[in-house]
Amino acid sequence: MLEGLLIGLQTALSIQNLLMVIAGCLIGTFIGMLPGLGPMSIIAIMIPVAISMGDPSAALILLAGVYYGAIFGGSTSSILLNAPGVAGTVASSFDGYPMARQGKAGKALTIAAISSFAGGTIGAILLMIFAPALSSVALLFHSSEYFALMVVGLSAIAAFAGTGQVAKAMLMTVLGLIMATVGEGALFNLPRFTMGIMDLQSGFGFITLAMAMFALPEALFLVLKKKEMSGDSGEISELRISGAEAKAIAPVIGRQSLQGFFIGVLPGAGATIASFLGYAVERNIATKEEQDEFGKGAIKGLAAPETANNAACTGSFVPLLTLGIPGSGTTAILLGALIALNVTPGPRLMIDEPQVFWAVIMSMFIGNLVLLVLNLPLIPYIAKVLSVPRNYLIPFILFFTLMGAYIGQNNATELLILVAFGVCATALKFADYPLAPLLIGFILGGMMEDNFARSMQLYDGVAFIWERPMTLGLLVLAVILVLLPSFRARRAKLRAQGVADGD
């Protein structure tokens, strides 16, 4: 591990990569602050830039910096304006905004910065410990287990979607898988489902799809909404926190770093769930007097979600880097970028390209440090971004989405596909269909089919399902994950009707 750390330091501390971390964090913070633009949109917009750099370590470092910056920027706008730019920072506004209203905006931002730093750093240490262990287990996996693991990952995403949403999330996932089958597969040199259109021979462009699913609908929602996104950014004073306050939030940060990290590792449960759960847990274990403070500007209530969401962001890198399976929309986009750069994340990553793996981990430390050092003094100026007029902002967001799709393919048809899918995605968003599962399904689709085909060929049929116990176990787990929510909903309904249940 020490050797790896040194390799990572060597790569991450080169001038170019340090600049990448700083640039990524700054870009992420600035854009993440704009309400309506989440980390997925920002990373999707940044991908063409990252890919054209050609160096996978530098690209991943840049994108990881953008990711952290976006989460941090999102908390700035939820604290100052009560307008979270990112779902993962909604919980931060529960106590952050009341603090800002009481004139303690500076203190709130400082607490957010410190908790984010601690969450991210502890998360990176845990990643360093768990990723190598997990990837040595993953080396025992065959293609059939990989296939089963992806099925588990995708069903977990559907299962965590919430009540009344499981079928929708499942449909979106399957739709993503279906879209991945369009075009020529690597296994069979046959164009499939292209409807005779030449432009579909190579399948749908992943960047185009990412832009259409996230950036475009969010920009259209900004247009549709009447509310101007301006608010009382006001004066920012009182940046310091007292020793007593630091003592109060230290245990919260410790607990939430661990909890957030492990929630982040689970597929489908990312920063959003981690932050809400972190808030709920801290509220429940607080003393009676402190509980009354929650929601009215409690420092613990701000520190908990901030720590948890950053730790979860780090945790979500574990399945990506060790198994090559993204657990969230953001890591799915990162996976797509990595594949475009000819790096295949998975258990072999640490052996084949240790400099990529360790450089990413080291850049997480550096990125967190940059965010803390750079953003604390810059907080009053950063808040100025919120005063950019919407009339200028929206055309630029739309333009960057178009450019992102165009640069990748240099093909104007791609832009039309982008607009068409963007309209479809907006309609889906109106009807409350989750969009991230579609993209995750799309990105995993090709890999899933390859692994499925390989196991079919090795076992000459579907016998691999029962001949390999681990595969069977994983597939059973996947079925349970999908059926569990509806079973629980059914039981709750029966109980509500007064019917006694079996246990």
Partner 1 sequence: MALDRWIALILLGICLAYGYTAWFMMDAGLAPFMRRAPIWPSSFPKVLSVLAIISCLIILLGFEKGEPKIGEIDYRRLGDYHIGQAMLLLALMVAYALLLRPFGFLGSTMGFLVIGSAILGERRWIIMIAVAAIATFIVWYLVQQVLGIYLRPLPGFLGG
Closest to partner 1 by CB, 244 or 499: 499
Scanning residues 135 to 164, which ones bind partner 1 (CB under 8 A)? Answer: 162-164
Question: Shortest gap between Cβ of 485 and partner 1 (angstroms)?
Answer: 9
Assess 30 for contact with partner 1 (CB under 8 A): no
Report the alpha-carbon angle 91-22-269, nearest 5. 30
Which CB, 315 or 408, lies closer to partner 1? 408
Closest listed residue to residue 182, CA positions, set 161, 163, 198, 167: 198
For partner 1, what does the binding mask look like between residues 172 and 191, x meaning CB under 8 A?
--xx-xx--x---x-xx-x-
Q: How far is 388 from 390, CA to CA, in rounded Å?
A: 6
Among 336, 382, 458, 486, residue whose Cα is nearest residue 85 = 382
- Cα distances from 339 to residues 343, 348, 448, in angstroms, run 5, 14, 15
Beta carbon nearer to partner 1, 253 or 397: 397
When asked if residue 395 is in the footprint of partner 1 (CB under 8 A), the reply is yes
Q: Take residue 441 and report the two structure tokens written for it.
A: 């399904």
Q: Which of 285, 416, 479, 492 binds partner 1 (CB under 8 A)?
A: 416
Answer yes or no whether residue 487 interacts with partner 1 by CB under 8 A: no
DSSP 163-174: TTTHHHHHHHHH
The three-state secondary structure class of 191 is: strand
List binders of partner 1 among 51-70 (CB under 8 A).
52
Pairing of strands 191-192, 183-184: antiparallel
CB-based contact 334:60 (threshold 8 Å): yes
Considering beta carbons, is residue 192 or 348 the nearer one to partner 1? 192
* The one among 6, 378, 412, 480 contacting partner 1 by CB under 8 A: 412
Angstrom CA distances, 400 to 85, 106, 327, 397, stand at 18, 32, 26, 5
Closest CB 428 distance from partner 1, rounded Å: 7
Q: How far is the CB of 259 from partner 1 (least distance, A)?
A: 27
Nearer to partner 1, 58 or 448 (CB): 448
Q: Write out the two tokens for 228.
A: 């101007």
225 or 296, CB closer to partner 1?
Answer: 225
Task: Tell me which of 428, 436, 440, 474 binds partner 1, using CB under 8 A.
Answer: 428
Q: Which whole-number Å values give the CA distances from 176 to 328, 401, 416, 433, in the listed order?
A: 14, 20, 19, 13
Q: Is residue 202 at the binding interface for partner 1, with CB under 8 A as the rule?
A: no
- Ramachandran assignment for 190, one of left (phi > 0), alpha (psi -120 to 50 degrees), beta (any other): beta
Number of residues that bind partner 1 (CB under 8 A): 67
Binding stretches for partner 1 (CB under 8 A): 49, 52, 162-168, 170-171, 174-175, 177-178, 181, 185, 187-188, 190, 192-193, 220-221, 223-226, 389-392, 394-396, 398-399, 402-403, 406-407, 410, 412, 415-416, 418-419, 422-423, 427-433, 448-449, 452-453, 456-457, 459-461, 486, 489
